[in-house]
Structure formats: C-alpha cells, structure tokens
Amino acid sequence: MSDRFVSLQKLSLAYGQTEVVPELDLDIREGELIALLGPSGCGKTTTMRAIAGLMAPKTGKIFIDGTDVTRTPANKRGIGLVFQSYALFPHLSAFENVAFGLRLKKMDNLEVTSRVEHGLNTVGLAHLAARKPAEMSGGQQQRLSLSRSLVMEPKVLLLDEPLSNLDARLRLEMRTELQRLQRETGITMVFVTHDQAEALALADRIVLMKEGVIEQLGTADELYNKPASKFAADFFGFENIFAVSDAGIVGNKGSLAGTFEAQDGHLAWRPGAVVVGKGPYEGTVTGVAFAGEQREYVIEAALGQIKATTPATDKRYEIGDSVAFDLPLAGAWHLPEGRQGVLMAK
Amino acid sequence: MTSKWTSRLIIGLTLTFLIGPFLIIILAGMSAGDFLAFPPDGLSLKWYIKVFTVESFQKSFALSMFLAVFGTLTALVLGVPAAYAISRYDIPFGETIKTVVAAPIIVPGIIVGLALLRYLVIPLGFTVTLALFLAHTALVLPYAVRVVLSSLNNLESDMEEAAVLLGCSRVGAFTRVVLPNIQGGVLAAFILGFVTSFNQVPVSLFLSGPGVRTLPIDMLSYMEITFDPSVAALSALLAFLSVVIVFVAEKFLGFSRYV
Amino acid sequence: MFQNNREGLALALPAAVFTALLFLLPVGILLSEAFRVDGQWSLQGYVDFAVKPLNQTVFLRTLKLGFLVASVSAVIGYASAFCIVNMDAKSRGRVFGLVVLPLMISPVARTYAWIVILGRTGIVNDAIVGLGLSDTPIRILFTETAVFLGLLQLFLPLMIISLVSAMENLPKDVIPAARVLGANWFQVFTKVILPLTKDGLVMGGTLVFTGSLTAYIPPAILGGSKVLMLETLLYQRVNVANDFVSAGIIATILIVMSFGANLLLKRIAAARK
C-alpha cells in the first residue's frame, strides 16, 4: 500500500486570473477514503477537478500511482468521478449508462454484459436495467452513477458532495453503502463535502481547506477533538471562541474579566461546555429552542453572544430572563498563538 | 358568470381577426368565377388545381424549397458549433461574436438584398441564386443559434465531463452525449429556419433575375398582373402546408417549447 | 465551461465570419454610400432627402403606423393575454397555439386575405352597401387603414405571446390579493398587472414596432404607391429611379430606429435586474 498513491505537489490552480488554490501539497494513501472538507469557495471542488484532469493546473504536478499524470488528458487518466448532479445520460437506459465507458474500450459484447450486470448488482439496481434515468428515484440515480464509475475499475474514485442531494434516510443508507463498496473494492476514494458531519461519519482522514490552503489534515477524531486553528475549531462545533488578554477574554462586544491561565491566543468552548444557571457571569437569554434531549440557548453577555446547551431536564429559562453562567477552564480548548492547541487541564 | 363570457368574447374576436382571413382565403380560392371575390361565385376546385400547372409557380416553388432546405442546413452546420462554443466556452470576443451572428435579425431584409445585389452579384459575378442562398443562410443563422443554444443551456455540461472521464474524446462526447440530447432542438431549429426562409420576402425582392424568383416574390408579381383567385388558392395551400408542418412538429416534438 | 478557449473560438468563428463577410460587410458599404456625394464624405444626401415633402410624409407615416400598431396591439394583447392565462390548461394550450400559428404562415398569404375583405367588392363594402350606409362602395384598400389592419394582423401575435409569458410569471395570487385589499379592476391593472408585466410589454412593443417599421408586404399589397412606407419607398427609389443614395439613407434610418428600439429594450430589461 502506497502512502503517496495520489500525490499533489506544489499544485496551483486558477480560473483565468482568479487564483483558487495558491500552492497545495497533499498525499493520499492507497485504499483510503478521504474527505476534502471546507466552506464553498475553499478550493475543494477545484482540487478534485484537477485530480480528474478536468482542469489544468497553472503550476505543480499530480502523480497517481507513481506516474506523473499532470499532462494526461481526463479520458486517459483512469479516474472515476461521481458528479453531484450524477450527470447520467438521459437518452440511455441504466444498462447503457453503465456500459458506456466499457463499450468505448472496444470490449466484446459478452464481457460488457457480464460486467454491467455485475456492476448493477453491486449497487442493487439489476432489476432496473432497462429504465431511463428519468424514471428512477434520486437514490437510484446516485447508485447508478456510482456503478457507472465503478465498472471502469478506476484507480481513484472522486465523489462530489455524494450525499447532498439525498434526504436524511437515504443519506444514511448511502453512507453505509459507500463504506461497504470501499471495503469490498479497496478503491481509493476522495470525496468533497461542505458538511462536517458527513466528513466525520464517512472519512478515514479529513482534509480541512480554507481559501485554497489546507488548514488541517487528520483523522476525524483529531479534527473534532484537537482543532489546530480558530477556523477548524469553529468548523467543528466550538461555537464560543474568544481571544485571551491579560485581564480576561475578549468577545466582539466587550470583555469578561477573570483568570483563564492562558497567556495568549484563543479559548474555545462547545455549547455543551458552557454552564448555565450558576457561575460568576451574568447574561440575558435572547433565544431558546427545544431540541429533543437538550435545550439550546443564546445568551447575550457583556462580551457578546454565548451559545449554550443544557439537558432538557434542567430548569428552563425564558427569553428575557437574566441568567448566571460559567465558562469553566476545565474542558476549554486553548489555541495559543503559533503553537499546537491544547486541552486545558481540569 | 359574466366574466367568463366576456373572456370568451375577447378571445373569439381576437382569434377571428387572426385566423378569420385564412378561412376567407380558402373559400375565395374555391371560386368558380374568374375574378377574386367573396363570397365566391359558385364553388369549384379549379384554381387549386390550376396553381400546380403554372410554370412560374413550379419553378419558384422549387427555388424556395431549395433555399429553405439547403440554406437552413448550412445555417445549422455553421450555427450548431457556434451555439456550442457560446454555451460551453468562455470565448475571446464572445459578446462581439454573438452580436455579429444575431445582427441579421435586426437589419431589415430589403437592405440585405440590395447590398448583396450591388456588391456581390454585380461586381463579383455571383449568381443571383448563390446570393439568395447566402442571404437566406445568414438570415436563418440567428434563429438556428438561438434555438440550439437554448437546448444546449438546458443540458448540463457535467454530462460531457462524465463522458470524457469514461474515456470519450471531446468530439466523441459531443456526438455520443450532446447530440442525442439536443436533437429535438436541432430539428425545431430546422423547422423554424425552413419556415422563416420559405416565407421570406424582403431579402429576395432585389435578388431576382430571369427565371430566378422565390415563390412569395412570384406571387407578388403575379397578383399585380392578374386578379384571378389563383393567388388565393396558392396562399391557402401554403397556409395549409405551414399548419401541417407546425402541427406535426408540435405533436412529435413539442415544437412550441423551442420557439 | 471548458478552458481551451481557442478551441471554442474555432467553433464559433465560421458562423461569425460568414455573417460578417457576406452579410454585414455589403450592408455596411451600402450604408456608407449614403454619406458620400461625388466621391466626398458629406451629409448633403441626407439634407436633400430630408427637404423633400414626400420623404417627410413617408417618414412620419411610418413612425405613426409603427406607434399605432404597437399601441393597439398592446390593448388587444393585454385583454387577450389576461383571458388566456386564466383559462384551464387544455384550452389555454389550444388558444395559444392558434395565436402562434399565423406566425408560421406566409405573410403574403396573410396579407392577401385583406384584399378580399377590404376590396371594392369585398365583404366590408358588401356590408356597407347592403346596410345602406353608403350608395357606392367606399375605398378602404390603399388607405392607411388597410395598411394598419394588415400590420396589426401580422404582428399582434408577437405582442400576445410576450404578454402571456409575462403574465404567466406573475407571482401567484397577486390579483386576488389586490382585490381583497380593495382595488377595483382598473386599479388592479394600473397598480399591479402593468408594473409587473412591464418587461413583457416593452419586449412585445419593440417587436411589434420594429416589425411594423420594416415590414414590406402590408404596405406593398394594401398601400401600393398611394400609401408608401419607408420600405416601399426604398424599393420604389431603387426600382424606378436607380437612386441608391436615398436607398442608403432610408436603410440607415430603418436600422437606426430598429437598433434604437432594441437598445432601449436591453436598457430597460437591464435596469430591472
């Protein structure tokens, strides 16, 4: 298993004069399921298109399985791509959609038939072989698109927002399906998403991107629990992030005096880490929402907005209520200036 | 329910104004008399039969058919790639190219005919038929580009990229994936172009020579000399032809989607 | 979007070059000739053209008919479009089809019918004499009225189509909402429908106006040499007098007016965005 199965080296990508990715280095391991995660405009889709060969890099190189493919045209790269729109051919049946690429390889008919049947079987669509894409549901179209790419036995399979067009129930089903297919085929998969929950649930490793630069790369566990930057912390649910000063912490409206033991950088709390109902600080409830097992509060305090959740069984506060709260140091995530983040000791 | 009846009345009057004249033309052409009149002097089909025997009508019909078919085909050969380029590429001078290609719609046809006569036919020795062919092609081109373009814009370009990733060349992606999915639009463009070219008058006004006249021009000169119902009969037949074409196109293609 | 723009240019260029060389270039030369007198650049041709009373009459008549046809088709268009969009889907399709159909039929055929209707022995005169409104048939053919009717019949469908599509895009239930808020039908039209369908009106108006300005067949068949419009005047100047300067001038006027109307349309459409 190669650790550098797909290797992007000093890759720079631009649309005309607009630079999207300034300089990117990334190594993808053989057989892993990796997510390119980030808000829209972060360059994740552009990077994926560059790997596929749909866009030529300005500078830099792309290696796949040890071969430099930077100048290899998209149709000769042996890479599969499942489009967000699925991009199925509306004039062809499900069978012919899957057979499309095989026929271009001048494979004989028997071989095509057996491979297509196997491909449709793998995604559970064998019974719909004669249907046109328009006569299939969204989930079926998605699986057809997946099967169309898989029968080509690509070295790398790219997936653009694979779950975004599906409803919640289908999303779970597809997630399991993707993981199963990846296990069974061992194909290296790269998927692009803006949804952190999707990346956390599906990927072996996550590449978090911001403005064309890799912000953090690691396992789901690492990114969720040890965000390396303010951006990463914010992206993974640390909704209360404040700068540390000599006297306390500073929000966008003001500051909160107190001892926080950290010297510099930022302190971050997940909403669940905020204590509501007791503590040294005072705020006003400006929003409350019931979310099943917990209650979500927005508290307006001297330093700005605090997002907090409490178990639904706790005392309920109403909008306008004055409420005490605490930002306990134990459980806060500290992001010092220019160094690794650390979990503050209890 | 008064508003319902008012509505019916308004639609009825409008349609009478738009369609009524054709019914009158059909009947006027059925006259048994020798002069155009309505109500007709008795009924007969002799004028409907006669128009097929008039030699100049035969020749001009053939010319008009030739121009409409080959002018439109040429316009499609030029227009489909142009529409494809406009929809899929960010071409340099794209706006200028679009304006140039669309210009024939805005320039009054009579001027085009005159200009081609003066600067292509007379000095360069182009035949009138060639000049007519060029003029009709240029005239149909904007419609061909517009109709094909709108079908292309309805087709996601993802599909072509998918085809390329599955091993197609760019040309292959066009013939295997794009063309099958826009063929309705191309056919609609052909029909629209055909009808536009066939009915075209002003462009052809100055572009006529001995024995070279399009059918509508021939009808105009015929009605200046003769006042018999044959032009009415011919008009009715042409109207009928258009109706059949449009009806068939609508039935099999949903033509009105494209226009 | 594909990145190889040279490839795109190669695909678009044949069409552009074809039109530029074989269409725009000859037309351009023709127009420029109107600015040349005895080999010199000059506006004398325009001055000579403008002082002739016939030319003035024809110019003003063309403008007048253009406006008139556009205005009347707007009125009929609104009434018809309102009725059409309020029909059930099935009859709406049918009626819309009947409105579009004439556009596909030869304008010669469409205009010729008016000779039968308006001629000395046509239906209208038969009715007038029959009802005793006049002892002898009155002359309708070869009057502005005849040309007006011919133009209206030719171009009305364009207005109706534009207005129908504008009205189909009206937000759902705005009319009932205005009614519930107390507007009478006149107010509903002026305060709700008109402002919301302005684009369609401008679009249809431009199509009808420029169409009428540059139409040849109705003035030729129904106006003859008595009711000349710019197009028929151009034809006559060339055919009767070999007067290419006047032809170039009329051509320029026609193009400027069509272009102006189109530009106005684009401007208004852009301002709305």
Chains that touch B (3 or more CB pairs under 8 A): A, C
> Which strand (E) or helix (H) includes residue C31?
helix C25-33
Considering only A186-200, C131-145, C209-223, which range has the smallest mean pLDDT?
A: C131-145
Retrieve residue B122's tokens.
């007379």
Amino acid at C188: V
Residues in a beta bridge with A207: A36, A217
Q: B162, A83: Cβ pair inside 8 Å?
A: yes
CA B90 vs CA A167, C6, C244: distances in Å: 35, 9, 42
Q: Do the Cβ atoms of B185 and B258 come closer than 8 Å?
A: yes
CA angle (C231, C236, C242) in 5-degree steps: 120
Taking the C-alpha atoms of residue B128 and residue B122, their distance in angstroms, rounded to an integer, is 9
Residues in chain B within 8 Å Cβ distance of C24: 100, 103, 107
In CATH, what number does A6-232 get? 3.40.50.300
Retrieve residue A64's tokens.
């796949």
Q: A54, B162: Cβ pair inside 8 Å?
A: no
Chains that touch C (3 or more CB pairs under 8 A): B
- Average pLDDT along chain B: 88
**Tell me, what's the pLDDT at B38?**
73
* pLDDT band (50, 70, 90) for residue C2: low
**Tell me, what's the pLDDT at A339?**
66
**Tell me, what's the pLDDT at A86?**
92
Taking the C-alpha atoms of residue A30 and residue A1, their distance in angstroms, rounded to an integer, is 6
**Looking at CA atoms only, how far is residue C206 from chain B in angstroms?**
11
Q: B166, A91: Cβ pair inside 8 Å?
A: no
Q: B156, A54: Cβ pair inside 8 Å?
A: no
Q: Do the Cβ atoms of A310 and A276 come closer than 8 Å?
A: yes
Residues in chain C within 8 Å Cβ distance of B242: 101, 104-106
CA B226 vs CA A68, B220, C195, C235: distances in Å: 80, 10, 51, 21
Q: B165, A85: Cβ pair inside 8 Å?
A: no
**Looking at CA atoms only, how far is residue A134 from chain B in angstroms?**
13
Would you say residue C273 has pLDDT above 70?
Answer: no
Q: Is C34 helix (H, G, I), strand (E, B) or coil?
A: coil
The verdict on residue C4 lying in a domain is: no
Q: B166, A101: Cβ pair inside 8 Å?
A: yes
**Tell me, what's the pLDDT at C152?**
96
Retrieve residue A21's tokens.
């990715």
* Count of structural domains, chain C: 1
The verdict on residue C13 lying in a domain is: no
**Helix, strand, coil percentages for chain A (3-state, nearest 5):** 30, 35, 40
Residues in chain B within 8 Å Cβ distance of A89: 159, 162-163, 177, 181
CA C186 vs CA C5, C71, C160, C175, C190: distances in Å: 54, 18, 20, 12, 6
Average confidence (pLDDT) over A161-181: 86
**Looking at CA atoms only, how far is residue A79 from chain B in angstroms?**
7
Query: Yes or no: is domain A238-343 CATH 3.90.1150.10?
Result: no
CA angle (A170, A174, A175) in 5-degree steps: 115
Average confidence (pLDDT) over A82-91: 92
Residues 6 or more apart whose Cβ sits within 8 Å of residue C92:
C84, C85
The length of chain C in residues reads: 273
Q: What is the pLDDT along chain B (259 residues), one digit of tens a residue?
A: 457 888 899 999 999 999 988 888 888 888 887 877 777 777 888 888 888 988 889 999 999 999 999 999 999 999 999 999 999 888 888 889 888 998 888 888 888 899 999 898 888 888 999 999 999 999 999 999 999 999 999 888 899 999 999 999 888 999 999 999 999 899 989 999 999 999 999 999 989 877 889 999 999 888 888 888 888 899 889 888 888 888 888 777 776 666 6
Taking the C-alpha atoms of residue A24 and residue A44, their distance in angstroms, rounded to an integer, is 11
**CATH number for the domain harbouring residue C255:** 1.10.3720.10
Taking the C-alpha atoms of residue B246 and residue B76, their distance in angstroms, rounded to an integer, is 19
Would you say residue A330 has pLDDT above 90?
Answer: no
A155 touching chain B per CB within 8 A: no
A114 touching chain B per CB within 8 A: no
What strands, in cross-sheet order, belong to the sheet with A333-335? Answer: A255-257, A248-250, A240-244, A266-269, A333-335, A342-343
Retrieve residue B45's tokens.
């089909």
- Average pLDDT along chain A: 89
**Looking at CA atoms only, how far is residue A263 from chain B in angstroms?**
51
> Which strand (E) or helix (H) includes residue A208?
strand A205-210
Would you say residue C260 has pLDDT above 90?
Answer: no
Q: B161, A81: Cβ pair inside 8 Å?
A: yes
Q: A54, B165: Cβ pair inside 8 Å?
A: yes
What is the value of ipTM here, to two decimals?
0.87
> Among residues 173-232 of chain C, which lie with CB inside 8 Å of chain B?
210, 214, 216-217, 220-221, 231
B167: nearest CA partner in chain A = A75
Select from A52, A81, A104 the Cβ nearest to the Cβ of B167.
A104
The verdict on residue C218 lying in a domain is: yes
Q: B156, A87: Cβ pair inside 8 Å?
A: yes
Would you say residue A73 has pLDDT above 80?
Answer: yes
Q: How does DSSP classify residue C219?
A: I
Q: B164, A54: Cβ pair inside 8 Å?
A: yes
Q: B159, A88: Cβ pair inside 8 Å?
A: yes
DSSP codes of every residue in B10-25: HHHHHHHHHHHHHHHH
Residues in chain C within 8 Å Cβ distance of B165: none
CA C194 vs CA C50, C75, C159, C200: distances in Å: 38, 12, 14, 10
Average confidence (pLDDT) over A196-222: 92
Retrieve residue B135's tokens.
């003029």
**Tell me, what's the pLDDT at B1?**
42
Q: Is B160 helix (H, G, I), strand (E, B) or coil?
A: helix
Q: Do the Cβ atoms of A273 and A328 come closer than 8 Å?
A: yes
**Tell me, what's the pLDDT at C250?**
92
- C170 burial type by CB count under 10 A (0-12 exposed, 13-18 middle, 19+ buried): middle
Query: Could you tell me the residue range of the domain that residue C78 belongs to?
Result: 43-272
Q: How does DSSP classify residue A26?
A: E
B67 touching chain C per CB within 8 A: no
What are the boundaries of each domain within chain A? 6-232, 238-343
Residues in a beta bridge with A218: A206
Retrieve residue A122's tokens.
């793998």
User: Roughly what angle, to the nearest 10 degrees, separates helices B230-253 and B179-199?
Assistant: 170
Retrieve residue C52's tokens.
């002739």
Residue from A72, A76, A83 whose CB has the most chain B CBs within 10 Å, to mutate? A83
**Tell me, what's the pLDDT at C40?**
82
Residues 6 or more apart whose Cβ sits within 8 Å of residue A318:
A285, A288
Taking the C-alpha atoms of residue B198 and residue B216, their distance in angstroms, rounded to an integer, is 8
B250 touching chain C per CB within 8 A: yes
**Looking at CA atoms only, how far is residue A85 from chain B in angstroms?**
8
Retrieve residue C66's tokens.
């253009």
Residues in chain B within 8 Å Cβ distance of A53: 165
Chains that touch A (3 or more CB pairs under 8 A): B
Average confidence (pLDDT) over C198-218: 91
- Alpha helix (H) residue ranges in chain B: 2-29, 46-50, 55-66, 72-88, 94-106, 109-116, 122-124, 128-153, 158-165, 170-173, 179-199, 202-205, 215-225, 230-253
CA C117 vs CA A170, B21, B28, C142: distances in Å: 67, 8, 10, 13
Scan for tokens 């193009």, then name that residue: C255
Report all structural domains of chain B as residue ranges with CATH numbers, in order of start: 1-44 (no CATH), 54-257 (1.10.3720.10)
**Tell me, what's the pLDDT at C243?**
86
A55: nearest CA partner in chain B = B161
**Tell me, what's the pLDDT at B132?**
94
Residues in chain A within 8 Å Cβ distance of B172: 104
Residues in chain B within 8 Å Cβ distance of C123: 24, 38
Report how many Cβ contacts below 8 Å link chain B to chain C. 252
Retrieve residue B63's tokens.
């010319």
Taking the C-alpha atoms of residue B199 and residue A56, their distance in angstroms, rounded to an integer, is 49
**Looking at CA atoms only, how far is residue B144 from chain A in angstroms?**
23
Average confidence (pLDDT) over A198-205: 91
The verdict on residue C6 lying in a domain is: no
**Tell me, what's the pLDDT at C1?**
44
Retrieve residue A168's tokens.
């919640």
**Tell me, what's the pLDDT at C219?**
94
- A242 burial type by CB count under 10 A (0-12 exposed, 13-18 middle, 19+ buried): buried
Q: Do the Cβ atoms of C199 and C90 come closer than 8 Å?
A: no
Select from B159, B164, B172 the Cβ nearest to the Cβ of A74.
B164
C131 touching chain B per CB within 8 A: no
